[in-house]
Chain A
Amino acid sequence: MLNNLIRDRGREGRRGYTLPRFDVERVSLEKVLPKQSLRKEKPRLAEVDEPAVIRHYTNLSRENWGIDTNFYPLGSCTMKHNPRANEAAAAVPGFAGLHPLQPEAQTQGALQVMYEAQGFLSEVSGFPAVSLQPMAGAQGELTSILMIKKYFEDAGDEKRTTVLVPSTAHGTNPATATMAGFGSKEIGLDEHGCVDVEELRAMVDETTAALMITNPNTCGVYEHNIPEIANILHEAGAFLYMDGANMNAILGRMRPAEAGVDVMHFNLHKTFSTPHGGGGPGCGAIACSEALAAFRPDPVVGKSEESYHLARPEKSIGRVAGFHGNFGVVLKAWNYIKMHGPELRDVTDMAVLNANYIRARLRGTYRIPYDELCKHEVVVQPPKGKKALDVAKGLIDHGFHPPTIYFPLVVKEAMLIEPTETESKETLDDFIGAMLELAESSPEELQEAPINAPTRRLDEARAARQLKARW
């Protein structure tokens, strides 16, 4: 059962504290504050005793579902375990107590971390230039496309009006193109769930600014034609941007720059294990080729002899974040990369193995639209007559966070499962067991789920149609 609001638990005049007696002169607020600063009515604060406060919030916190309480196979979100060593690094007083306006001479350690993080991302991606500024994946996308836009403006090329987006793309891709002032056009898929190269060839012309590709794509399939795709774009003078949301599938195994990509973003909060899922903070760092490096956001971290400094790239698109971006996230990602060293590629190997284990064990019961070796995530469809939504709700009763459902849009009743490398075989087996059991349940039974959660099935349609919003 859901808790009542804490205000509703109170009784007028009840207090959980006792203040000491006044030992100074009483002053009326009207005398010291201007009239417009005074409240017209008292704030409606909860009037409760201390145990009530503690119980209320402790009980609420126990209803929280997250990676620290449950397996969380949310496709395209890489909800991996967040090592506590990252938190220890971020809590070091020299970092935690920094002020963003402190002079460079006092922040050399932090600047060194940023400089080295730029270097690590360079190494992983194969690109010479990095910016740590964007604060989320979608902002990394926007930053990349704005850099491409500025490149064409700088080159005096005014014909580039279109950004191409595959039908499997994250919804943020066409939104990014629109926000950056481009029109977007959708490209279809071939029978493997990959970008249709012939369709691309026919669509690319002198108005094309870029293609936004996700690799592996949101079907969990590696876009094996990526060098050819890059060639088609480059011959037309356009750029290839890569959405790095699925970097956990290629880390240490494939460098996007070597496959012909021109610019990409990383989600440090996904691939490099910093907590996320509540809307931030995140870091959508970008990496790019020499041709685009001058357009990176301001500032980047440079090094001269033995000291580090902030610098503005020559033709920078300007600022996309305040101060240094989300430094705490960069620091945790730096720590994660340092802990792994060259073994970072094991992350990818285990993530891919786990996803394929799930694929192999669900095959035959669930439908698998692209049933070939997948990368770090797999798309499945429930048996005929069952809905992805019902299976997802059923998983809650089994103690699992539901995977992403109804995405990618190109697969009906899609369930996008991403186990990540941090889960043991036992956890995967428990999850698979629950999935197989749910496949056997009657549709009527499934429609009742969840029955063990704090709330039963929510009426999402009514919530959206009869929106009650206050701001």
Chain B
Amino acid sequence: MSIPEELQYTKTHEWVRHEDDVVTIGITEHAQDELGDVVFIELPEIGTSFASGDSFGTVESVKAVSDLYTPVDGEVVEVNEALNDAPEKINEDSYGEGWIVRLRVSGEGDLLSAEEYEKLLEESE
């Protein structure tokens, strides 16, 4: 299971990429594998503010509906509209075209390194 070194992670299986004061958030390869085929995603509206730990949307697979959590405080500046028509991008390219949302960060939350996330996955096995 791929866990790119340059990204940061959450205990709830989101990944985070920092670029200046904007973060891109998606779900990890492990998360999409556990969920199975994603069939629907509910995205937040641009301009909405979230505090770290808030649910900013939901992802629905053939197995279950799950909340998506932001690990940072911030305001939504961009959402991946392409997922509305092609939610399977989350399964096919979870760290690339399957990105979900971009937030302008106003406060940092608890994040894990790639190494720490890998350990978390091992422990949960």
Out of A171, A460, A465, name the residue touching B87 (CB < 8 Å). A465
Interface-located stretch among B18-26, B33-41, B72-80, B103-111 = B33-41
What residues on A are CB-neighbors of B40 within 8 Å?
Answer: 464-465
Whether the Cβ atoms of A464 and B64 lie closer than 8 Å is no
What residues on B are CB-neighbors of A460 within 8 Å?
Answer: 37, 62
Size of the chain B interface, CB-CB below 8 angstroms: 12
B29, CB-defined interface residue at 8 Å: no
Out of A171, A407, A409, A464, name the residue touching B62 (CB < 8 Å). A464
Out of B34, B39, B64, B65, name the residue touching A461 (CB < 8 Å). B39
B88, CB-defined interface residue at 8 Å: yes
Main secondary structure of the interface of B (DSSP, over half): loop
Contacts A412-B34, A465-B87, A465-B88 given; does A406 touch B63 at CB 8 Å: yes
Contacts A461-B39, A464-B40, A465-B39 given; does A409 touch B64 at CB 8 Å: yes
A223 to B: closest C-beta gap in Å: 23
Size of the chain A interface, CB-CB below 8 angstroms: 9
What residues on A are CB-neighbors of B60 within 8 Å?
Answer: 464
A404 to B: closest C-beta gap in Å: 12
What residues on A are CB-neighbors of B87 within 8 Å?
Answer: 465
Whether the Cβ atoms of A406 and B39 lie closer than 8 Å is no
B34-70 interface code vs A (CB 8 A; 1 in, 0 out) = 1011011000000000000000000010111100000
Whether the Cβ atoms of A406 and B37 lie closer than 8 Å is no
Name 13 extra pairs, CB < 8 A, besides A409-B64, A460-B37, A461-B36: A406-B63, A406-B64, A407-B64, A460-B62, A461-B37, A461-B39, A461-B62, A461-B88, A464-B39, A464-B60, A465-B40, A465-B87, A465-B88
* 21 pairs, CB–CB < 8 Å, chain A vs chain B: A171-B65, A406-B63, A406-B64, A407-B64, A409-B64, A412-B34, A460-B37, A460-B62, A461-B36, A461-B37, A461-B39, A461-B62, A461-B88, A464-B39, A464-B40, A464-B60, A464-B62, A465-B39, A465-B40, A465-B87, A465-B88
